[in-house]
Amino acid sequence: MAVNFKLYLITDRKQVKMPLPAAVRLALEGGVRAIQLREKDLPIRELLALSQELRTITKEFGARLFINDRVDVAVAVNADGVHLGHESMPVEAVRKIVGKDMLIGVSTHNLAEAKAAEAGGADFITIGPIFDTPSKAKLGVPVGLSILKELKYELNIPFYALGGVKSGNMAQVFNAGATGVSMISAIMAEEDIKKASSKLIAAIAYIDKIICEYCAPR
């Protein structure tokens, strides 16, 4: 299964002004094609029900659904993948459970963690926080664009810039070598989720086109 998306949307039901499934549907209508369900505080039965609902919606749009941390839920709803954090099961163990047909993403914060994730069998990673952002403040000082330039040459799997990425700084992220961007508030906190998603997707397509035409291949 190929990792072929440029925008990786992470959910946060506390930022939206409507039920999360409705917000996700609007994002998909705006062109988003990869969703990570990340609602860690939900009881397992509620998480499973929400995952099943989002699986139905994402299938309708031909979009990918990833479940944060809970491998059992990902398998139960036939998700496209699971996304692991630093307290999750090791990538190697998860691969034994899900096999080759499910994608595995891993959250990383430095070069060593990124390379370890790749060595363990991850299909892609998120890296960050790239910029200053309240949601990632507990992770410390932003790692900046320099880490993306390193990963461009050190990593052989896709990597997504996370943390404070907005429409105004996306070009910097892609120019530094990132495969794509991962966002929460830039979509989830917007009044018009569909419009925000559509604008971001269009901007990414334009940036990618410019890079392909005028810059050296990433």
Q: What is the DSSP letter of 13?
A: T
Verify whether residue 198 is a known catalytic residue: no
Q: Which of 38, 64, 70, 194 is catalytic?
A: 38
| Catalytic annotation present for 107 | yes
Continuous H helices in 77-129: 91-98, 111-120
Closest CA to 142 of 165, 119, 168, 158: 165
Active-site residue among 25, 33, 55, 136? 136
Neighbour-count burial for 196-208, b at 16+ CB within 10 Å, e otherwise = bbbbbbebbeebe
Q: Which of 13, 25, 55, 107 is catalytic?
A: 107
70 noted as active-site residue: no
Contact status, residue 68 vs residue 52, Cβ threshold 8 Å:
no
CB 46 within 8 A of CB 37: no
Task: Return the active site residues.
Answer: 38, 107, 136
